[in-house]
Homo-oligomer: A and B are copies of this chain.
Amino acid sequence: MDLAALRRGRRGAVARAISAIEDDPAAARSIIKEIFPETGRSCVVGITGPAGAGKSTLIDRLAQDLAARGMSPAVLAVDPTSHVTGGAILGDRVRMSGSTDSGAYIRSIASRGATGAVSASLRNSIRVLEYAGFDPVIVESVGAGQTEVGISLMADITVVVFSPNTGDSIQAIKAGLTEIGDIYVVNKGDLAGAGRLLDAVRDFVARSGGARVVRTSARRGTGTGELAGLIESMSAERRGRRSTPESLSAELGDIVLTGLRERVAVMAERDATFRDCVRLMQEGRLDPYSAGRRAARAVARR
């Protein structure tokens, strides 16, 4: 890995490093060990919200506005996956490589894989982009439960995007509003229903305290400048702060569990106690919980 080229933000080097992070655990480990001391200082902006809220167009505009303010944004899109193809939707992946109109580096990474693998590749891809000089690093994800929560833990600033046409009623959107946002965006603000949605979001924010609300129309280019300004000032307030202890502790726990998961998988194949337990379960002579206690002791002995 050419770390000097990566340090200078060369796109080829960045792309190769992120691919290695995603596909090659040994390479990932050696890259991260090298670059880790120089990371943790860029502002990470998580942008989440339902499919159809117009996040991608919004991010294109936002990246232009951030660049116009002298910042160097990069975008990591956590790929939406299709339940049919079981993988990235091709059109989206094509769109999501190269750069936005603003010249920001943009890249999609897989949102599916073994437990823990997605957050590991996301965390480490953010580090690659930080090392390459990008700031802020924008992480786009479809709001989908555990991923969403994971990203808000990694992000310094969390932006939640809604629009009046995602097929959910105002009632449903209100019911689903979570307190993870530092900024709530009502996008497609020129569409019918945007006013009512904005009122609902403002009500929610007034009750839960403190977050900012912005109305945008990415298509018309309104409001994204205000959003960029907010991100710039929040980013300045938080500059120099490294990743939080909560986030690093979650990462460390993930790394330890990934190792344990591999150990359990190997034991399921080879360990005599483990295989005995399975046989007794199959014969109906040992219930799963008692078997679990016995197998856990075998894991501990290793």
> Which residues of B are found within 8 Å of A281, using beta-carbon distances?
243, 248, 251-252
Interface stretch (choices A69-77, A150-158, A227-235, A285-293): A285-293
A253-B264, A268-B249, A287-B36 are contacts. A84–B168 as well, Cβ < 8 Å?
A: yes
> Which residues of B are found within 8 Å of A253, using beta-carbon distances?
264-265, 268
Number of copies: 2
Count, chain A residues at interface, CB 8 A: 68
Separation in Å of the A240 CB from the closest CB of chain B?
12
> Which residues of B are found within 8 Å of A175, using beta-carbon distances?
84-85
A37-B284, A84-B168, A86-B176 are contacts. A252–B32 as well, Cβ < 8 Å?
A: no
A211 at the interface (CB under 8 A from B): no
Name A282's contact: one of B51, B178, B243 (CB within 8 Å).
B243
On whether the beta carbons of A32 and B288 are closer than 8 Å, the reply is yes
On whether the beta carbons of A84 and B50 are closer than 8 Å, the reply is yes
Interface stretch (choices A54-62, A98-106, A140-148, A200-208): A140-148
A161 at the interface (CB under 8 A from B): no
On whether the beta carbons of B252 and A288 are closer than 8 Å, the reply is yes
- Report how far A284 CA is from B127 CA in the complex, Å: 12
A172 at the interface (CB under 8 A from B): yes
On whether the beta carbons of A255 and B86 are closer than 8 Å, the reply is no
> Which residues of B are found within 8 Å of A4, using beta-carbon distances?
none
Residue among A83, A242, A250, A253 with most chain B CB within 10 A: A83
On whether the beta carbons of A40 and B284 are closer than 8 Å, the reply is yes
> Which residues of B are found within 8 Å of A37, using beta-carbon distances?
284-285, 287
A33-B290, A277-B252 are contacts. A83–B284 as well, Cβ < 8 Å?
A: no
- Report how far A92 CA is from B282 CA in the complex, Å: 35
> Which residues of B are found within 8 Å of A274, using beta-carbon distances?
249, 252
Name A145's contact: one of B86, B143, B250, B288 (CB within 8 Å).
B86
Question: What 1/0 flags go to A230-268 for Cβ under 8 Å of B?
Answer: 000000000000110100111111011101110011001
Q: A84-B143, A251-B288, A253-B264 are in contact. List 15 more A-B contacts (CB 8 A).
A: A32-B289, A33-B289, A37-B287, A50-B84, A82-B176, A83-B176, A84-B168, A242-B283, A242-B284, A251-B281, A252-B278, A255-B295, A257-B257, A259-B296, A260-B264
What is A's interface to B at a CB cutoff of 8 Å? 29, 32-33, 36-40, 50-51, 81-86, 112, 115, 123, 142-146, 168, 172-173, 175-176, 178, 242-243, 245, 248-253, 255-257, 259-261, 264-265, 268, 274-275, 277-279, 281-285, 287-292, 295-296, 299-300
Give 28 pairs: A residue, B residue, CB < 8 Å, sorted on A: A29-B289, A32-B289, A33-B287, A33-B289, A37-B287, A40-B282, A83-B142, A84-B143, A84-B172, A84-B175, A86-B145, A112-B145, A115-B115, A242-B284, A243-B281, A248-B281, A248-B288, A249-B275, A251-B288, A252-B268, A253-B265, A255-B288, A255-B296, A256-B292, A256-B295, A256-B296, A257-B261, A257-B264
